[in-house]
Amino acid sequence: MSHSDLYVEVDRSAYTNALAKASPVTKTFFSISALIICVSALSLHSFIVPIIIFITCSFLTLTIAKVKLHLYLDLFLYPTFMVTLSCIFLALFFGSGDSLIQIPLPWTTWTIYKGGISTAINTFFSVEGSLSCLFFLVLTTSITDLSLILKRIHVPTVLVELSLLIYRYIFMFMEISHQMSTAQKLRLGGRGWLKKIRDTALLVGNLFIRTLEQGERVFVAMNARGYDGNIYVLEDFPKPKKTILATIVLFDIFLIIMIFLTTNIGVIAYAV
């Protein structure tokens, strides 16, 4: 899926999913609280809690919100690939405590530690659980609702408006860069390291110019529509239900208890 298609699918899902009309305050509170707990579990070496969070958020996203499975998997593809590579390096080249495997080399002895493998496992599941929290929020809550929540918690207006514009145009410029790169390849560009460096420099320069031109056009269009320094949106979302908020609090308490019950439990026992 191309970057522009991904942007369209994510934006469409945020407005058309089964939880689109639910209170964004509730969804934001659930996602942020679960995210904080998931990250906290990493420092206590508990990978059970991130797995619970991942399963819960994936269930809510796919079953309750009825988000398309292929879209959900596409969002996980690149982050999962990157975190897998990082965790492999953590497992093989970092760690402390008892050694698991020692491989003699001509110049040294390569030691794989139990602590390194445990850290890699905990890191992998913590990242996946955190991503599921963020994707649940992104796929079920529109950027407009999120901007209203940011304003209600007194985030500076300029930052909120910048986030709106960045979200709107970041995927578009990624698609433009992809089109430019494709055009260069069709013209037999990028053959050899020197040509690749030259073509990359040309692409970055042209993209910078296109960015300035697009920003100027947007500013002119906003002024033509009466822009006075503020972007106004209709505040029309339901109030959060107390029962649902209480359920989220109970779930968070359950996760905190599970963190302390499953500390240092892993596939390979963590060694300090």
Q: Could you report the per-residue pLDDT of 34-63, keeping only the tens digit for each?
A: 999 998 888 777 788 999 999 999 999 999
Half-sphere exposure of 110 (CA within 13 A, CB side): 7
pLDDT tens for each residue of 58-116: 999 999 999 989 889 888 988 999 999 988 888 887 766 677 777 777 777 777 777 77
- 212 and 87 share a domain? no
Residues 6 or more apart in contact with residue 232 via CB below 8 angstroms: none
Has residue 150 been placed in a domain? no
From CA 50, how far away is CA 56, in angstroms rounded? 10
Has residue 146 been placed in a domain? no
Half-sphere exposure of 223 (CA within 13 A, CB side): 6
Has residue 148 been placed in a domain? no
pLDDT tens for each residue of 113-171: 777 788 888 889 999 999 999 999 999 988 888 888 888 888 888 888 788 777 777 77
- Top mean-pLDDT range of 5-14, 17-26, 170-179, 232-241: 17-26
- 17 and 68 share a domain? yes
pTM listed for this prediction:
0.78
- 3 and 92 share a domain? yes
Structural domain count of the chain = 2
- 95 and 185 share a domain? no
- 36 and 76 share a domain? yes
- 105 and 198 share a domain? no
Position 225 scores a pLDDT of: 78
Give me the domain span that covers residue 94.
1-141+241-272
- 7 and 135 share a domain? yes
- 131 and 176 share a domain? no
- 134 and 174 share a domain? no
Q: What is the DSSP letter of 240?
A: P
